[in-house]
Amino acid sequence: MTAIQASCMEFNQSPVLENYNTFLSDAALLAALSREGAAWAADELAAYGALTGRSEFIRLGFQANEHPPRLSTHDAKGRRVDLVEYHPAYHELLGGAIRHGLHARPWTDKRAGSHVARAAFNYLQAQVEAGHGCPLTMTFAAIPTLRKQSDLAAIWEPLVTAREYDPRNVPATEKSGVSMGMAMTERQGGSDVRANTTRAIRLKSSGAGECYVVNGHKYFVSAPMSDAFLMLAQAPGGLSCFLLPRWRDDGTKNGIELQQLKRKMGNVSNASAEVKLDDAHAWLVGDEGRGVANILEMVALTRFDCMVASAAGMRQAAAQATHHAAYRQTFGKRLDRHPLMQNVLADLALESEAALALSMRAARALDHLADDSEAALFRLLTPIGKYWICKRAPAHAYEAMECLGGSGAIETSIMPRLYREAPINAIWEGSGNIQCLDLFRAIQRQPDALDVVAAELKGAAGLNDDYDRHCRNLDKALANAARGNDAGVSTYEGRRLTESLALGLQASLLLCSDNALIADAFCRARLSSGVSGLFGTLPRGIPCAAIIDRARPPLTAD
């Protein structure tokens, strides 16, 4: 028996979950990687999983949150500097992720499955710390919008995709790698960006790729030390998308004033600023008036990353809960041998695996956007997955925390941080209702988009009775939704429809995977009649012990 095991037995506490391989110990991830076409990345992911499971790496996540970023607006002589300083742990996390290409892999690695592979890397990284994931995601997601303006892309894309992290506050021309942010939200409107009042007027000439002068205010700008931001502003031709660099072409500071950093309930390691734009120079991306359409290319990818990050949070929560319950004894036996606790743990594990399956299917669609049906599927999977996975995460984190009892509420464990991170993904990048409205819009604009969902669901037809019944009901609801108000359907029912689609898709993915035990349990747990929304209410007959075993990291205390 090791010293750690002995001390755990003495105090009846679980050892800290560290120094394990977060990839190799995740059976659901290994299966999803192969299923979705990126098995070739397994060796590299195994090395990365060894890194992200190390105690020193996990510690970085704690340090980055214990020492939040600080804003200096002016220097000692009263000049504006607008400088945010982060703890070295934040730089180590973000810099390390960039050096491993988590911000850019699919843009530089043309192998089929590179989006799936990147999602898997991100999934491992996000389990350790969520805040630095924000600039990582925005840098990754900026590329499709940047490509709308080829002259700007020619300058910026090589810098954005470089595996170089350079946090210095100097012009991009002096760097060999840059990071990107996004500035859409204003005080008077976040979801409704058409209410933006920030104004852009031409500097010399107007038109795509030209420089404009921007004045206004942005209410939420995360990662404000990014080298450039994609932003929305009202140009003479309507709401338009711009590239706003931190520095002007002549090497002087651009008119970006950080007024304050928000005090947030989660995502604490990441700075989110209120920003005044004072004669800032910004370059028009695409045509005037096409701002929303152009920036939505970026937003689709940040929404996708929200799915992956929330699924990662669930994985970490389920790993922590199953790990703890294997060591803790109550009333004379292991916590995970008590039937009611087995019900809770197995339910958390099922939710986590289903969230991962849906995220990785979306990643495969992203890998094959040249195929019209995969593009149509990705269009629908984004709002469905962003809505459902992000909505499930807070309750999941809370329930996992409770599995650890009082220790789950203590800040030296990761559980409070997982809990505080969970609602953030649901709110930003389009809150829950906005995802449901987006789904309705997509269906009503292009009713045949539903054919790709139907084809996806058909793959599992006949494999499970609960699933077949769910699909029959879903068919009717979707047909009505596509007809919209003609069928008396209003967006009032948007959440029900989106949830129903998410559950159907998760079930079909699990049914088509090679683990019948998980698939059948999921269908019974989520699709059979009379199921409750709370975790730990699985119906009788679910093989909980086997599900828990699959989810739990290896039982080693050394």
| Contact set with ligand FAD (CB under 6 A) | 182-185, 189-192, 220-222, 264, 267, 272, 424, 427-434, 437
- The DSSP-derived string for 314-369 is HHHHHHHHHHHHHH-EETTEEGGGSHHHHHHHHHHHHHHHHHHHHHHHHHHHHHTT
Question: Of 11 and 492, which CB lies nearer to ligand FAD in the complex structure?
Answer: 492
What is the smallest separation between the CB atom of 224 and ligand FAD, expressed in angstroms? Answer: 8
Q: What is the DSSP letter of 370?
A: T
* C-beta separation of 339 from 92 below 8 A: no
- Least gap, CB of 415 to ligand FAD (angstroms): 20
Shortest reach from residue 366's CB to ligand FAD, in Å: 21
Q: How far is the CB of 223 from ligand FAD (least distance, A)?
A: 7
Cα separation, 505 vs 74, in Å, equals 52
Query: Shortest gap between Cβ of 248 and ligand FAD (angstroms)?
Result: 22
Q: What's the distance, Cα to Cα, between the start and end of the chain in Å?
A: 9
Instruction: Give Cα 9 distance to the centre of its chain.
Output: 38
CB 55 within 8 A of CB 19: yes
Please say which residue, 437 or 463, places its beta carbon nearer to ligand FAD. 437
Q: What is the DSSP letter of 172?
A: G
CB 388, CB 97: distance < 8 Å = no
Minimum distance of ligand FAD from residue 442's CB (angstroms): 15
Chain centroid, CA 522 distance in Å: 23
Q: How far apart are CA 140 and CA 317, in angstroms?
A: 26
- What is the nearest approach in angstroms of ligand FAD to the Cβ of residue 184? 4
Minimal distance in Å, beta carbon 51 to ligand FAD? Answer: 27
- The residue number with the shortest CB distance to ligand FAD is 190
Nearest residue (CB) to ligand FAD, 84 versus 365? 84
Of the two residues 303 and 470, which places its CB atom closer to ligand FAD in the complex?
Answer: 303
Residue 264 or 337: which CB sits closer to ligand FAD?
264
Please give the biggest Cα pair distance in the chain: 79
Compare residues 108 and 444 and give the one whose CB is closer to ligand FAD. Answer: 444
> For residues 188 and 330, which CB has a smaller minimum distance to ligand FAD in the complex?
188
Of 431 and 480, which has the nearer Cβ to ligand FAD? 431
Cβ distance to ligand FAD smaller for residue 259 or 431: 431
* Joined tokens for residue 492: 């009032």
Cα angle 9, 10, 13 (rounded to 5 degrees) comes to 60
CA atoms within 13 A on the CB side of 492: 4
Angle at 90 between CA 393 and CA 66, to 5 degrees: 70
The amino acid present at 488, given as its one-letter code, is: G
Q: Closest separation between CB of residue 227 and ligand FAD, Å?
A: 14
Task: State the pairing for strand pair 228-235/180-183.
Answer: parallel
Handedness of CA 99, 100, 102, 103 (dihedral sign): positive
In 3D space, the residue among 196, 258, 200 whose CA is nearest the CA of residue 72 turns out to be: 258
Residue 235: phi and psi, rounded to 5, are -100, 170
Q: With respect to ligand FAD, which residue has the nearer C-beta, 192 or 411? A: 192
CB of 79 to ligand FAD, least distance (A): 26
In terms of phi and psi (left: phi > 0; alpha: psi -120 to 50; beta: otherwise), the region of 16 is beta
Q: Which is nearer to ligand FAD, 183 or 547 (CB)?
A: 183
Least distance from ligand FAD to the Cβ atom of residue 205, Å = 28
What phi, psi does 524 have (nearest 5°)? Answer: -65, -40
Question: How far, CA to CA in Å, does 276 sit from each of 217, 257, 260, 510?
Answer: 5, 5, 10, 48
Residue 93: which of 167, 14, 147 has the closest Cα?
167
Output the six-digit token pair for 323.
């790990």
Nearer to ligand FAD, 232 or 348 (CB): 232
CB of 193 to ligand FAD, least distance (A): 8
